[in-house]
């Protein structure tokens, strides 16, 4: 990867982190609706050319469009925070759909990479606390269990 590409990816990740931090701050101020709107618009601000497409496609295609596991992790984190906002706004079904998408994205990412960065470990742990039986189809849940076992056994590299 060239220095230009790496710099671009790092700037995108930084922007995503800033949006998440700002949204969480808005939520603590009781401005959950504004936080939700900022997160919903975050992808359009950060990657205007691909935002709609990333949201519409399946997890595998989204990974291809994002292209880098660090961007995938940042996207999964945005999905989880968006889900938190939707649930706080009593929109449980949309929140659960976002959680399920984050899970699918992370499953695909780890299957492709066979590596778990410290950030991915945190996201994986956060996802582990969700009611996976309700969010995933049976085959997806089985993939989750298999990956979780592989992580625990050290078959997937985790620093």
pLDDT tens per residue, range 145-155 = 999 999 989 88
CA gap 29, 155 in Å, rounded: 43
Question: Which range has the worst mean pLDDT, 6-10, 45-49, 53-57, 135-139?
Answer: 45-49
Q: What is the mean pLDDT of the chain?
A: 88
**Which of 60, 85, 84 is closest to 72 using CA atoms?**
60
Judging by beta carbons within 10 Å of its beta carbon (0-12, 13-18, 19+), is residue 158 exposed, middle or buried?
middle
What one-character-per-residue DSSP string does 95-121 give? HHHHHHHHHHHHHHHHHHH-B--HHHH
For residues 64-86, give the mean pLDDT: 89
- Residues of the chain above pLDDT 70, percent: 99
What does the pLDDT read at residue 144? 95
Do 92 and 134 form a contact (C-beta atoms < 8 A)?
no
Instruction: Name the residue with higher pLDDT: 100 or 113.
Output: 100
- Residue 97's CB is within 10 A of a number of other CB atoms, namely 16
pLDDT grade, residue 95 (50/70/90)? very high
* Alpha helices for 29-91 (secondary structure H): 32-46, 51-56, 59-66, 69-88
SS3 146: helix
Do 104 and 83 form a contact (C-beta atoms < 8 A)?
no
For residues 10-27, give the mean pLDDT: 86
What pTM, to 2 d.p., does this model score? 0.88
pLDDT grade, residue 1 (50/70/90)? low
Partners of residue 154 on adjacent β-strands: none
Partners of residue 115 on adjacent β-strands: 157
For residues 22-26, give the mean pLDDT: 89
């Amino acid at each position: 990867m060239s220095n230009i590409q790496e710099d671009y990816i790092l700037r995108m990740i930084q922007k995503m982190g800033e949006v998440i931090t700002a949204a969480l701050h808005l939520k603590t101020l009781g401005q959950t609706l504004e936080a939700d709107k900022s997160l919903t618009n975050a992808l359009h601000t950060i990657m205007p050319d691909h935002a709609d497409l990333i949201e519409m496609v399946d997890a595998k295609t989204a990974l291809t469009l994002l292209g880098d596991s660090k961007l995938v992790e940042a996207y999964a984190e945005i999905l989880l925070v968006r889900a938190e906002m939707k649930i706080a706004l009593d929109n449980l079904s949309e929140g659960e759909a976002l959680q399920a998408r984050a899970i699918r994205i992370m499953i695909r990412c780890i299957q492709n990479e066979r590596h778990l960065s410290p950030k991915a470990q945190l996201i994986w742990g956060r996802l582990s606390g969700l009611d996976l039986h309700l969010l995933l189809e049976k085959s997806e849940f089985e993939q989750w269990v298999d990956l979780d076992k592989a992580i625990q056994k050290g078959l997937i590299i985790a620093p």
